[in-house]
Every structure is written in C-alpha cells, then in structure tokens.
Amino acid sequence: MRLRVVSTAFAELAEIAEFIARDNPDASRGVVRRIEEVFTRIKQFPYMAHPADTSDIRIYPVRPFPYLVFYSIEQDEIIVRNVRHEARRRSNR
C-alpha cells in the first residue's frame, strides 16, 4: 500500500517542528523523527489504529509526544490528512 501525506499534514508537521525548535532544536528533530517513524508504522500496519467515531479517519498517537496522526485508507492508498497536537483533536476531511 502506498502512503501519501497531503500538504495540510506537511504544513502542520512544519509548524510543530518550528514551534518546538524555538526553545529546543534537538527536541524538535526528535519529535519530527518520531512522527516519521509513525508514518512508517502506519504504512506497515495500516489497520492497526481503529477508525475514530463513525468516520473513516483513523487516529494513531505519536507516543511519548502529545501528537496524533489522522489518516484514512482508500483503495490501495493510505492518506495522512493531519498531524496535530492532542488538544486540537479533530481532523479536516
């Protein structure tokens, strides 16, 4: 299955990295690296995360950090739609 990260998710990831880098560039790189590991994990095991509520959006936590990756599975493609802080929770569809 192919993994595609939409521009919104890339922009959110960049915002997260920039925000953390203001205080701690090393921590910022660590968070981004962990999020990229989650992308790899989702590609390997796309059905690991359960759908949220009644939608087709799945949510995968970026542990130990307070971020969530929102994605959907459509035919032969995994689409990462958002990368957000847990406090923001909802995904744009």
Spell out the domain ranges in the chain: 2-85
Statement: residue 84 has pLDDT above 80: yes
User: Which amino acid would we find at residue 14?
Assistant: A
Question: And the tokens for 86?
Answer: 């847990």
CB atoms within 10 A of CB 6: 14
Do 49 and 58 touch, CB atoms closer than 8 A? yes
- Torsion sign, CA atoms 46, 29, 19, 23: positive
User: How does pLDDT run across 22-51, given as a tens digit for each residue?
Assistant: 999 999 999 999 999 999 999 999 999 988
The domain made up of 2-85 has a fold known as: YaeB-like fold (3.30.2310)
What was the pLDDT predicted at 51?
Answer: 86
Statement: residue 91 has pLDDT above 90: no
What was the pLDDT predicted at 90?
Answer: 61
